[in-house]
Amino acid sequence: MKEIIFTKHQQEIASKIDREAGKEQWTDWKWQTRHSIKTIEDFEHLTDISFKEEDKRQLNETRNRFPLSITPYYLSLINKDNYINDPVYKQAFLDNRELIVTASEMGDPLSEDHDSPVPGITHRYPDRVLFLVSNVCAMYCRHCTRKRKVGDVDSIPGREQIKEGIEYIRNTPQVRDVLLSGGDPFLLSDNYLDWILTELEAIPHVQVIRIGTRTPVVLPYRITDDLVNMLKKHQPIWINTHFNHPREITSSARKALARMADAGIPLGNQSVLLADVNDCPRIMKELVHRLVANRVRPYYLYQCDLSEGLSHFRTPVGKGIEIMESLIGHTSGFAVPTYVVDAPGGGGKIPVMPNYIISWSVNKVILRNYEGVITSYQEPDEYKPTLCDRNCKDCRLELNLKDGEEINAIGIEQLLSDYDDTISLIPADNERFKRRNENEDIEDAEN
């Protein structure tokens, strides 16, 4: 393994923080978090960037609203000669536009707090839960969707709250996948995280645990051998990280990723589409190429959420579709993330793609490929649909399912199924149905 690189520029910053500090301190993640930049003055001192007094007043107001914290490492990636256009600067440093709240923005746009059976758990999908185990991060992303929570001393999940979350998972047998997030779970100590993972692993129905962390991007030194050895005990663990720009994939980040990949941990990446940071097909293609070269599978590309103060980061959905158009077919399939809009109000992630189906008749589908070639696919003249009434014993398909494991179909899957006679899904407040006979309830109307 190559030595960790420690640049002259990083030494300069380290010396300004502490005259004695060198590579040993710099590459110690605890030193990094202890010396994270939390004030505008420290930022100015360490970067030699300076702001006008009147701007600083507003910047301080922004900082009082949403916390500032930048690791010395991440700060060292800022190109101070062109910081205004720098993707690292834009993700890390305050912008007065964060104080602008537009009419469509919300504190909790994804209704994570509504779909929360116990504090810290969001149970939105049938078989998996989001479990917020930390509310602190090494670096507070300016585009954070949970801006309302991170860094807020009133939202720190204590051991009791974590126990309550674990208890909920233990008592909810349909949960087979637990997604640890926060804040950043990797800001917890190895021992504490070990305890959480041990508790979860002991629950028979929990098949996989996922961890979402941005430390490989903003604090790669956190990925120590000790951490990785601890994680290895708890396989299968999947880790998703959050690179948004190719510039973030430095030699230190690559080393952190390699350590985890070498331990057999599958790695994914979730990017957020951000105006003036990565809203460009070329940047995105370079990012996904560097990710797969480092054994990280691009997982999701998120449309920026409607959280308060993010309007300057948001792009039209069309920009995301344009980026997907530039990736699908043009590069390796496994380098293409799924572009999703997380439904405001809590509907979950909705995948969005360019259209590839041009038309359809009873036996032909007309498709187009990434080059614009239009093609037809002849469907079979004879296809016997198998009526599925969930009587798997008599089915000719070789599928041995224990009935007990199944859950009822919901949504479009329900409409497609043969064993459920629902014919339409109707929003609860549909005016037309409200006008119908009041005694007739909606369920009758559906059938």
Ligand X SMILES: *Cc1c(COP(=O)(O)O)cnc(C)c1O
Stretch that binds ligand X, among 19-27, 35-43, 119-127, 417-425 (CB under 6 A): 119-127
Work out whether the CA dihedral 228, 234, 240, 242 comes out positive or negative: negative
Active-site pick, 108, 184, 279, 305:
305
CA distance 319 to 129: 30
Stretch that binds ligand X, among 9-17, 122-130, 215-223, 308-316 (CB under 6 A): 122-130
Please list the residues that pair with 340 across neighbouring strands.
302, 351
Rounded to the nearest 10 degrees, the angle between the axes of helix 8-17 and helix 40-47 is: 140
Residue 137 is among the residues annotated as catalytic for this protein: yes
- Which one of residues 78, 121, 179, 310 is an interface residue with ligand X (CB under 6 A)? 179
User: Which one-letter amino acid corresponds to residue 436?
Assistant: R
Identify residues 129-168 at the interface with ligand X (CB under 6 A): 130
Work out whether the CA dihedral 301, 284, 46, 57 comes out positive or negative: negative
Instruction: Give per-residue burial for 321-355: e unless 16+ CB within 10 Å, then b.
Output: ebbbebbbeebeeebbbebbbbebebeebeebebe
Nearest to 241 by CA among 257, 261, 258: 257
Cβ 28 to ligand X, closest distance in Å? Answer: 32
Residue 395 is among the residues annotated as catalytic for this protein: no
Active-site pick, 63, 124, 148, 149:
124
Cis peptide before 183 (omega within 30 of 0): yes
- Which one of residues 35, 63, 128, 259 is an interface residue with ligand X (CB under 6 A)? 128
Cβ 123 to ligand X, closest distance in Å? Answer: 8
CA distance 188 to 196: 10
Active-site pick, 137, 147, 210, 279:
137
CA distance 260 to 244: 19
Cβ 200 to ligand X, closest distance in Å? Answer: 15
Residue 342 is among the residues annotated as catalytic for this protein: yes
User: What residue is closest to ligand X based on CB?
Assistant: 130
Residue 128 is among the residues annotated as catalytic for this protein: yes
User: Could you say whether residue 122 binds ligand X (CB under 6 A)?
Assistant: yes
Closer by beta carbon to ligand X, 118 or else 258: 118
Cβ 196 to ligand X, closest distance in Å? Answer: 17
- Which one of residues 35, 124, 222, 242 is an interface residue with ligand X (CB under 6 A)? 124
Asked if residue 96 lies in contact with residue 312, where contact means CB atoms within 8 angstroms, the answer is: no
Instruction: Give per-residue burial for 113-123: e unless 16+ CB within 10 Å, then b.
Output: eebbeebbbbb
First to last CA, the chain: 65
Cβ 325 to ligand X, closest distance in Å? Answer: 22
Active-site pick, 74, 86, 89, 141:
141
Stretch that binds ligand X, among 26-34, 120-128, 138-146, 162-170 (CB under 6 A): 120-128
Known catalytic residues are: 124-125, 128, 137, 141, 144, 146, 305, 342, 349
User: Can you give the binding site for ligand X, defined by CB under 6 A?
Assistant: 122, 124-125, 128, 130, 179, 349
